[in-house]
Amino acid sequence: MQQLLDILKQKTEQLNLGGGLSKIQKHKEKGKLTAWERVKYLLDADSKYTEIGVFAGDGMYKEHGGCPNGGVVVVLGYVKQKLCVIVSNDATVKAGAWFPISGKKNLRAQEIAMENKLPIIYLVDSAGVYLPMQDEIFPDKEHFGRIFRNNAKMSSMGIPQIAAIMGSCVAGGAYLPIMSDYAMIVEGTGSVFLAGSYLVKSSIGEVIDNEALGGAATHAEISGVVDNKYPNDESCLDAIKNIIDKIGDNQKAGFSRIESIQPKLPADSIYQNLPQDRLKPYDMLKIMEAIVDEGSLEEYKKDYGKTILCALARIDGWAVGIIANQREIVKAKKPGGTQEMQMGGVIYSDSADKAARFIMNCNQQKIPLVFFQDVTGFMVGSRSEHGGIIKDGAKMVNAMANSVVPKFTFIVGNSYGAGNYAMCGKAYDPRLIYAWPTAQMAVMSGASAGKTLLQIQESTLKAKGVSLSEEEKQTLLQEIEDRYNEQLSPYYAAARLWVDGVINPAETRKIISMGIEAANHNTDIPRYNVGVIQT
């Protein structure tokens, strides 16, 4: 575990360098703060924050020079003691240009602000769409244009939006700050226009420099496009803090919170109690004792459906309902006094049935849900199929998918196949979803996938009259498994924003607490209706 945490630390430190030291130096020579310096300047001193979308773009776009951290920093944190979403373009990464993953990450930031009705701050410093990949970022529903649609939607929802133009702001990107409630600009470095001077000359023959075309003085004094101009980054950020300070408070949803109590076990006990080998059993209750407030955990149906742990608890004082995969091998009692051995991490009919009922309870009682995934999937075989595992699994998915209380998901270990869905994977709208360094996410394990794909390739070659020797089979199997195992990595998932990041398990309590506090800002909790339950 310590090795995995060291890798996490090294990768995070590298991300903070954005486009690299030389690019940072050139950026600062213009009198500009870096993307992270701007964020840190805004945040309240010594306050906690959570980064969203960390590792976005990791290992992607190598032929284009890469796009570390998606070219944008996104943070959930406190400004003037108000919880806000901050979006800060990193101009050291391809001049802040929008790659496809940049668009996806910006949309994720807006989604979080909309779901939780939080103020959102845009620190704009971007050259606009990355033209060599424009077909992957420009025209589709979840592409660049969705950003401005969300600007309009958030305005209609009464969500405060504040934008600072701290560098380039070109073409369609110019609409983002101007569709915000407040728009400010930094003199000398900030500029905003639909077309730059080169395009203006080629289009209509007019010769004009960028500053006269769309600089701070032009838009603050002539066009009125921005509200005010500021001499440097710091004074502009101070103005944002002054605005946030005046925003009124919203009503709260009313999720239960009392005084926080520290967990029974220290956070680093997780490192000893969670085996790195994803096949080894362990007691999920021991992991929970390092996350929940001491003495608060109350198990639901603890002697029934034991491969899923369901419990009411408190985390940093907040009431939660926990659904976690139990990884110990358990004995399940059956009619007639018989017993059945059940494998940890597998969802059986009884555990799916229990989880569905517990999820419904929490929705009726306005208790946020927290999922801890270490799941290999649903039980297979004739006994399970005849017992109706598909029906019971569907019941659990239905109860979870229709949940109206906030959901939060943490991928502790395995996250395979339909187990990912039932335990509130990304497709089921968790407010936040993070992976631990021990996480593995795919349709099945590397070993299972390797053998299956090998059989398919063998059959294809056999149809062509080609047979493989045992040595060739082993070589091919190794190639398949190596490729598949790379895709199992939590960083592969984080790069594509299937999760909001890879975290040290010790951060889990903080993220849950901040997540529920954010969710508490949105009073709109619809009536819970699961529709048709499969019985």
Question: In terms of CATH, what superfamily is 1-245?
Answer: 2-enoyl-CoA Hydratase; Chain A, domain 1 (3.90.226.10)
301-306 average pLDDT score: 95
411-422 average pLDDT score: 94
Q: Are 292 and 263 in contact (CB under 8 A)?
A: yes
Residue 258 sits at the vertex; the CA angle it makes with 253 and 261, to the nearest 5 degrees, is 135
Q: Convert the pLDDT of each residue in 449-506 to its tens digit.
A: 778 888 888 888 888 888 888 888 888 888 888 888 888 999 999 999 999 999 999 9
Q: According to the model, what pLDDT value does residue 172 have? A: 64
The DSSP element (H or E) to which 424 belongs, if any, is none
Exposure string for 430-451, b = 16+ CB within 10 A, e = fewer: bbbbbbbbbbbbbebbbebbbe
Q: Convert the pLDDT of each residue in 306-356 to its tens digit.
A: 999 999 999 999 999 999 999 999 988 888 878 889 999 999 999 999 999
Q: According to the model, what pLDDT value does residue 532 have? A: 86
What size, in residues, is the chain?
Answer: 535
- Domains of the chain, residue spans: 1-245, 268-439+499-521, 444-488
Strand ranges in 127-282 using DSSP code E only, listed in sequence order? 161-169, 182-186, 228-230
- Decide if pLDDT at 135 tops 90: no
Q: According to the model, what pLDDT value does residue 467 have? A: 84
Residue 464 three-state SS: coil
Q: According to the model, what pLDDT value does residue 206 have? A: 85
One-letter identity of residue 135: D
Query: H helices within 55-157, ranges in order?
Result: 100-116, 145-157
Q: According to the model, what pLDDT value does residue 386 have? A: 63
Q: Are 122 and 164 in contact (CB under 8 A)?
A: yes
Determine the Cα–Cα distance for residues 185 and 424; give it in Å rounded to an integer: 41
- Decide if pLDDT at 16 tops 90: no
CATH 3.40.50.300 applies to domain 268-439+499-521: no
* Claim: this prediction has a pTM higher than 0.75: yes
Do the domains at 1-245 and 268-439+499-521 have one common CATH topology? yes
**Contacts of 77 by beta carbon, 8 Å cutoff, 6+ apart:** 39, 42, 43, 44, 47, 48, 49, 50, 83, 84, 86
Q: According to the model, what pLDDT value does residue 209 have? A: 81
- Decide if pLDDT at 406 tops 80: yes
246-252 average pLDDT score: 93
